[in-house]
């Protein structure tokens, strides 16, 4: 099977971004960019991706869609929203981190992560570095953010972290970000990155089933 055909099958079967699963319509606007930051923080610990996206949906449903709303919310309100998504064991520490992170975003970038982008001069390494100043966002969380944010911030394209590149190599696809970028149009690079993450998490005979589809 050609890399192009395999990529087409990957996108069809697994190409839903995690932002989309969390109900975030990603655009270069303050609210969705912040909601993606929250999702990245939720995904940054050892917890199932489905639980993290469910927690992001609960926080959004509770009205905590902006850093101001998050900062003004009560700690218990955040804990309760996380609990409804069964985001357990980490709910209390995460509720604290989300509150602290919202205050940082308000203070440092006046609630608008586009100012983080400006501070970084649009340079992907600098964007990743600045993201890690936010509580709970480490190298993994920064990669998650950039992998999804490339939909809205073209300078991040093509964003494929080490794990997605390793998965791609195992599938016989290019193992560099540039090489993978040639297999999907700009609007689909985030979907391809998400597909590689999802098929890696699926494990088992997912690859064989994809090839035989």
Tens-place pLDDT, residues 66-85:
999 999 999 999 999 999 99
> What single DSSP character describes residue 37?
H
Tens-place pLDDT, residues 111-148:
999 999 999 999 999 999 999 999 999 999 999 999 99
Contact 68, 109 (CB under 8 A): no
Fold of 20-150: Endonuclease III; domain 1 (1.10.340)
Q: What are the domain boundaries of the chain?
A: 3-17+158-212, 20-150
Task: Give this prediction's pTM.
Answer: 0.95
User: How high is the mean pLDDT of the chain?
Assistant: 95
CA separation, residue 97 to residues 36, 191, 199 (Å): 15, 28, 30
Res. 88 pLDDT band, cuts 50 70 90: confident
Q: Helix, strand or coil for residue 106?
A: helix
Which position has the token pair 């501070």?
119
Query: For 112-161, where are the alpha helices, taking DSSP H only?
Result: 114-119, 124-131, 139-149
How much is the pLDDT for 76? 97
How far apart CA 161 and CA 167 sit, in angstroms, is: 10
How much is the pLDDT for 213? 66
């Amino acid at each position: 099977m050609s890399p192009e055909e395999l990529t087409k099958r990957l996108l069809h079967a697994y190409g839903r971004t995690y932002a989309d699963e969390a109900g975030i319509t990603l655009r270069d606007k303050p609210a969705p960019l912040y909601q993606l930051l929250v999702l990245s923080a939720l995904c940054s610990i050892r917890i199932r991706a489905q639980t993290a996206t469910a927690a992001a949906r609960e926080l959004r449903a509770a009205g905590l869609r902006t850093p101001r709303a998050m900062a003004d919310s009560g700690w218990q309100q955040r804990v309760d929203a996380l609990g409804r998504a069964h985001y357990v064991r980490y709910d209390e520490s995460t509720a604290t981190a989300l509150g602290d992170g919202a205050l940082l975003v308000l203070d440092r970038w006046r609630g608008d992560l586009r100012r983080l982008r400006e501070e970084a001069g649009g340079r992907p390494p600098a964007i990743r570095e600045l993201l890690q100043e936010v509580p709970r966002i480490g190298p993994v969380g920064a990669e998650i953010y950039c992998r999804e944010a490339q939909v809205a911030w073209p300078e991040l394209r093509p964003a494929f972290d080490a794990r997605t590149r390793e998965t791609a190599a195992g599938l016989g696809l290019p193992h560099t970000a540039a090489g993978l970028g040639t297999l999907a149009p700009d609007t689909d690079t985030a979907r391809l990155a998400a597909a590689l993450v999802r098929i890696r998490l699926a494990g088992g005979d997912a690859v064989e089933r994809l090839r035989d589809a």
